[in-house]
């Protein structure tokens, strides 16, 4: 969130020899990648919208996602809410790491980036539990494969929904799975950058732009989850 000190003269910005956008090559390419990735996720979510709009009926999330570890109480959406908060918090620690980087505060970057990695790992663990609970189906037993949620079986078919309609489970696995894969790679990249921060590579370079670039990716993962949360679990 630093204000850019240097003002670019628009008359000469496109004359060559400098970035007219006042951004480095790496940061531009990260934005380009994120736009294409956002189109992929957009495609997924719009396809989900098509399925919901064209289906006779669609399961209500409150009636599918009401489990919480360690209790049998009916707690709709509470677990997903927890996952959402974990991801938001890890996004905040990431932006704090970027801010510390702008002050060349190596210890600060190390601390906040470390917490970001932890947040990502907690989210992945939560998602593993979420998946196994979803797969187990309404009876909650994972070992009975005949009534489990799979790509070819939808045990959550709502009233009036064609029992052969497996789009609900398919969208669950593909949308949250693709997002989870992004979280996984994000954690991996954050961890590698964390190691380089610890070694003092960026301190020596004079700026922590690499933290900013992986930060963009990590915020994007949080951004996607905001939309997945709304369109898969709420609407």
Partner 1 sequence: MENRDDLIVNDSYATQSNHSEEEGKAIRKKIWQVTLLLSVLTTIEIIMGIYLSSRSASFWPVVKWSFIVMTVVKAFYIVWEFMHLGHEKKSLRRYIIIPYVFFIVYMIFLIIQEGFSVGEYT
| 226 forms part of the interface with partner 1 (CB under 8 A) | yes
Instruction: Mark 168-207 with x for binding to partner 1 (rule: CB under 8 A) and - for no binding.
Output: -------------------------------------xxx
Total count of residues recorded for the chain: 235
Cα–Cα separations (whole angstroms), residue 134 to 64, 84, 169, 203, 232: 8, 17, 9, 45, 14
Place of tokens 């539990």: 129
| DSSP summary character for residue 145 | G
Of 98, 97, 180, 100, the residue nearest 132 (C-alpha): 180
Residue 232 C-beta: closest distance to partner 1, Å: 11
| Token pair recorded at residue 51 | 């399925």
Q: Which range in 123-131, 166-174, 178-186, 209-217 contacts partner 1 by CB under 8 A?
A: 209-217
Residue selected from 68, 115, 178, 229 as contacting partner 1 according to rule CB under 8 A:
229
- Cβ proximity to partner 1: between 26 and 177 the closer is 26
- Site residues for partner 1, 17-56, by CB under 8 A, read 17-28, 31, 35, 38-39, 42-43, 46-47, 49-56
Residue 95, helix vs strand vs coil: helix
Number of chain positions touching partner 1 (CB under 8 A): 75
* 3-state secondary structure string across 201-218: HHHHHCCCHHHHHHHHHH
Instruction: Mark 89-128 with x for binding to partner 1 (rule: CB under 8 A) and - for no binding.
Output: --xx-xxx-xxx-xxx------------------------
- Cβ proximity to partner 1: between 9 and 152 the closer is 9
Point out which residues pair with 68 in neighbouring strands.
71
- Cβ proximity to partner 1: between 148 and 156 the closer is 156
């Amino acid at each position: 969130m630093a204000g850019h000190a240097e003002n670019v003269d628009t008359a000469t910005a496109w004359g060559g020899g400098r970035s007219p956008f006042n951004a480095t090559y790496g940061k531009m390419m990260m934005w380009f990648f994120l736009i294409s990735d956002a189109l992929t996720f957009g495609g997924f979510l719009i396809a989900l919208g098509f399925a919901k709009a064209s289906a006779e009926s669609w399961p209500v999330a409150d009636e599918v996602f009401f489990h919480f570890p360690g209790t049998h109480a009916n707690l709709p959406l509470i677990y997903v809410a927890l996952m959402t908060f974990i991801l938001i918090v890890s996004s905040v620690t990431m932006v704090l790491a970027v801010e510390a980087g702008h002050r060349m505060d190596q210890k600060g970057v190390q601390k906040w980036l470390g917490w970001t990695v932890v947040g990502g790992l907690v989210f992945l663990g939560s998602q593993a539990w979420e998946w196994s609970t979803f797969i187990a189906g309404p009876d909650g037993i994972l070992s009975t494969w005949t009534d489990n949620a799979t790509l070819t079986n939808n045990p959550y078919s709502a009233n009036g929904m064609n029992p052969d309609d497996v789009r609900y489970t398919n969208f669950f696995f593909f949308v949250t799975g693709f997002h989870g894969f992004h979280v996984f790679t994000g954690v991996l990249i954050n961890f590698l950058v964390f190691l380089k921060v610890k070694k003092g590579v960026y301190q020596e370079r004079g700026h922590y732009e690499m933290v900013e670039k992986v930060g963009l990716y990590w915020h994007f993962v949080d951004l996607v989850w905001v939309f997945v949360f709304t369109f898969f679990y709420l609407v």
